[in-house]
């Protein structure tokens, strides 16, 4: 087929386009901007992509199917042409994946408010380390595995990041509803995406819908410590395996310890030691990601027809030695500068729980460092006041805080916007110095001055954003190296 991807520069769209090309389709696309590394990878795969949108060009290209990314909305000139003329068939990205990539596969769908990208990468990585060739689609840029997408062998599982966000402007169902899980991994559940969900109950509802499509010979791998999953009930239509630190879990994380020397913990399967893990990934949250991934990959391996022994429901058939070498995902606690005097880190965090967990981990790993935390309120939820109290508590775990410019203020009423001044006032009551600025460029100058003023002590600067922070992360790192 001749396929045209609208929004091909996005991580999910670009990686899916690469999967389609690997499957033998002719692939084209367009976006407002396609930058490296995605532009380089697409070009290397022989995919032609265009800058900007043009209905006349789309009509001339005449693809068999147009795949519309969920960043596209009414008003886009190609969208309007498609709707007016009905000249070409179109679909959403999740529906395309369901029909052309996932059909007939034993799919492992990784869902949850936090940790999806890392857990997806870990699951694929562990299956590969155990001699399998899984397909996978990772919603970020992993270091391990070395690519974000791979078709794999049809006999092996397909591991996919299952986002609860909506599928397209014409399909408001969560993406993961399309993905036909054999194994559904539910990492955690909190309120997020206030632009499409009304409240926590609304988010719980869509997760319940996901569990309803797991077959009776499949599994739900569930965070057994997460109270917000209790409303899902016993889920008697399939098999449920619980993972966590509590005593009622099937797979337990015990003896977790994080020090400047690294992280270690044990995994116990139904009271029996499965593995002792020592690795470089920070925090209890990543230990939980590893446990969830190990359980899902192990169950898939045990049930595989390629298993040399009889099929079982015991995941400990999976060897976990490779965890010690796992290098993670870019922009997840990624160290850009690592010297005794200064460490600079970039993190994709944009939810209070994620910020708090990362800052707690940093305090354990770097107890002698002054921790500077810069946060950009950019996501559709974080730039509002909805979670402001949570951000206050999380940021109070740092020593110095910098609040970036609130994104797209023109789309919010003044009373709805994240209030940086109120956050700074709260931080002052906690003994934490807070700073903000009208622009991120101005904030960069403040960060540089404050770090310079604190010289004489080891320092760590962590930037939290789900965007680019207007390029100031790279500028700060380049200046610090110079």
- Predicted local confidence at residue 455, as pLDDT: 80
Residue with tokens 């997840």: 332
User: Which pLDDT does position 120 carry in this prediction?
Assistant: 97
Least confident range from 18-22, 78-82, 329-333, 438-442: namely 329-333
Q: Would you give the distance in Å from CA 309 to the centre of its chain?
A: 34
Instruction: Give the model confidence (pLDDT) of 193-217 as tens digits.
Output: 888 899 999 999 999 999 999 999 9
Q: Give me the pLDDT at residue 309, please.
A: 55
Pick the CATH number of 2-95 from 3.40.140.10, 3.40.50.1950, 3.40.50.720, 3.40.640.10: 3.40.50.720
What are the tens digits of pLDDT across the range 102-157? Answer: 999 999 999 999 999 999 999 999 999 999 999 999 988 899 999 999 999 999 99
For residue 37, cis peptide bond before it (omega within 30 degrees of 0): yes
Report the chain's terminal Cα–Cα distance, integer Å. 50
The residues spanned by each domain of the chain are 2-95, 104-325, 334-481
Helix (H, G, I), strand (E, B) or coil at 286: helix
For residue 41, give the nearest of 33, 49, 50 by alpha carbon. 49
List the Cα angle 177/182/186 in 5-degree steps: 65
Q: Could you tell me if 15 and 37 are in contact, meaning their C-beta atoms sit under 8 angstroms apart?
A: no
Which neighbouring-strand residues pair with 219?
Answer: 183, 239
Whether 311 shows a pLDDT value over 60: the answer reads: no
Strands laid side by side in the 2-6 sheet:
48-51, 26-31, 2-6, 65-68, 89-92
> Looking at the predicted structure, is the pLDDT value of residue 347 above 80?
yes
Convert the pLDDT of each residue in 316-337 to its tens digit.
999 999 999 999 898 888 999 9
pLDDT of residue 380: 86
pLDDT at 344 over 80: yes
Least confident of 45-54, 305-314, 315-324, 338-347: 305-314
Q: How far apart are CA 465 and CA 25, in angstroms?
A: 35
Mean pLDDT within 156-177? 96
The full 3-state SS of 363-406, as one line of letters, equals HHHCCCCEEEEEECCCCCCCCECCCHHHHHHHHCCCCEEEECCC
**3-state secondary structure (DSSP) of residue 251:** strand
Of the two residues 441 and 40, the one the predictor is more confident about is 441
Question: Is residue 308 pLDDT above 60, yes or no?
Answer: no
**Whose CA is closest to 5, among 84, 100, 75?**
100
Structure tokens at 370: 């002054």
For the stretch 272-284, pLDDT in tens is: 999 999 999 999 9
Contacts by 222-231, CB closer than 8 A, 24 or more apart: 222/186, 223/112, 223/186, 223/187, 223/188, 223/288, 223/292, 224/248, 224/249, 224/250, 225/249, 226/186, 226/188, 226/189, 228/188, 228/189, 228/190, 228/200, 228/204, 229/186, 229/189, 231/201, 231/204
Is a pLDDT exceeding 90 seen at residue 15?
yes
d(CA 239, CA 235): 8
C-alpha 148/C-alpha 141 separation (Å) is 6
Over residues 347-354, mean pLDDT: 91
pLDDT of 88 higher than 60:
yes
3-state secondary structure of 478: helix
439 and 407 in contact (C-beta within 8 Å)? no
CATH architecture of 334-481: Alpha-Beta Complex (3.90)
Query: Residue 230: which H helix or E strand, with range?
Result: none
> What is the pLDDT, as a whole number, of residue 270?
97
- Residues 227-251, mean pLDDT to the nearest whole number: 96
Q: Which residues contact 285 (CB under 8 A, 6 or more apart)?
A: 114, 115, 354, 357, 358, 361
Fold classified for 104-325: 3.40.1190
DSSP code string of 111-163? E-SS-HHHHHHHHHHHHHHTT---EEE-SS-BSSSSSSEE---TTS-EEEE--
> For the chain, what percent of residues have pLDDT higher than 70?
98
Q: How many residues are listed for the chain in this entry?
A: 482
Position 331 scores a pLDDT of: 86
Using the predicted structure, report yes or no on whether residue 8 has a pLDDT greater than 80.
Answer: yes
Give the pLDDT of residue 306.
64
Q: Please report, rounded to a whole number, the percentage of residues in the chain having pLDDT higher than 90.
A: 85
pLDDT at 482 over 70: no
Which DSSP string corresponds to 407-461? TTGGGS-GGGB--HHHHHHHHHHTT-EEEE-SSHHHHHHHHHHHHHHTTTS-EEE
8-28: average pLDDT:
94
Give the single-character DSSP code of 352: H
Amino acid 408: pLDDT: 84
Question: Is the pLDDT assigned to residue 310 strictly greater than 60?
Answer: no
3-state secondary structure of 328: coil
């Amino acid at each position: 087929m001749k396929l045209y991807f609208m929004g091909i520069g996005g991580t999910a769209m670009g990686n899916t386009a690469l999967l389609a090309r690997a499957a033998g389709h002719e692939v084209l696309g367009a976006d407002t901007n396609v930058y490296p590394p995605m532009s380089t990878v697409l070009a290397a795969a022989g995919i032609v992509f265009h800058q900007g949108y043009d209905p006349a060009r789309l009509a001339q290209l005449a693809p068999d199917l147009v795949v519309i990314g969920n960043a596209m909305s009414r008003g886009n000139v190609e969208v309007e042409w498609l709707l007016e003329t009905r000249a070409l068939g179109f679909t959403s990205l999740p529906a395309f994946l369901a029909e052309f990539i996932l059909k007939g596969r034993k799919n492992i769908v990784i869902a949850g408010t936090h940790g999806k990208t890392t857990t997806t990468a870990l699951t694929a990585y562990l299956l590969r380390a155990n001699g399998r060739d899984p397909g996978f689609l990772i919603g970020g840029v992993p270091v391990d595995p070395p690519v974000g997408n791979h078709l794999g062998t049809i006999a092996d599982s397909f591991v996919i990041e299952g986002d609860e966000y909506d599928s397209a402007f014409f399909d408001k169902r969560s993406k993961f509803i399309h993905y036909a899980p054999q194994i559904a991994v539910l990492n955690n559940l909190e309120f997020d995406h206030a632009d499409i969900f009304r409240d926590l109950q609304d988010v719980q509802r869509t997760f319940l819908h996901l569990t309803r499509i797991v077959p009776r010979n499949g599994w739900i791998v569930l965070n057994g410590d997460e109270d917000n999953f209790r409303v899902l009930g016993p889920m008697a239509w399939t098999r449920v395996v619980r993972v966590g630190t509590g005593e009622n879990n099937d797979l337990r994380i015990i003896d977790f310890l994080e020090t400047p020397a690294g992280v270690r913990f044990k995994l116990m399967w139904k009271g029996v030691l499965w593995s002792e893990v020592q690795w470089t990934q920070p925090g209890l949250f990543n230990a939980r990601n590893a446990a969830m991934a190990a359980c899902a990959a192990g169950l898939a391996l045990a049930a595989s027809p390629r298993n040399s022994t009889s099929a079982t429901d015991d995941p400990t058939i999976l060897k976990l030695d490779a965890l010690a070498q796992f290098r993670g995902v870019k922009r997840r606690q990624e160290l850009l500068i690592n010297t005794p005097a200064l460490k600079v880190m970039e993190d994709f965090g944009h939810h209070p729980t994620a910020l708090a967990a990362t800052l707690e981990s940093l305090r354990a790993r770097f107890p002698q460092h002054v921790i500077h935390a810069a946060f950009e309120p950019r996501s559709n939820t974080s730039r509002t006041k909805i979670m402001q109290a949570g951000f206050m508590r999380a940021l109070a775990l740092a020593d110095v805080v910098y609040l970036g410019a609130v994104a797209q203020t023109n789309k919010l009423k003044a009373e709805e916007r994240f209030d940086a001044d109120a956050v700074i006032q709260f931080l002052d009551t906690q003994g934490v110095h807070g700073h903000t600025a009208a622009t991120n460029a101005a904030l960069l100058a403040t960060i540089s001055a404050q770090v310079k003023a604190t010289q004489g002590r080891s320092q760590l600067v962590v930037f939290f954003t789900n965007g680019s922070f207007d390029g100031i992360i790279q500028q700060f790192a380049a200046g610090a190296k110079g």
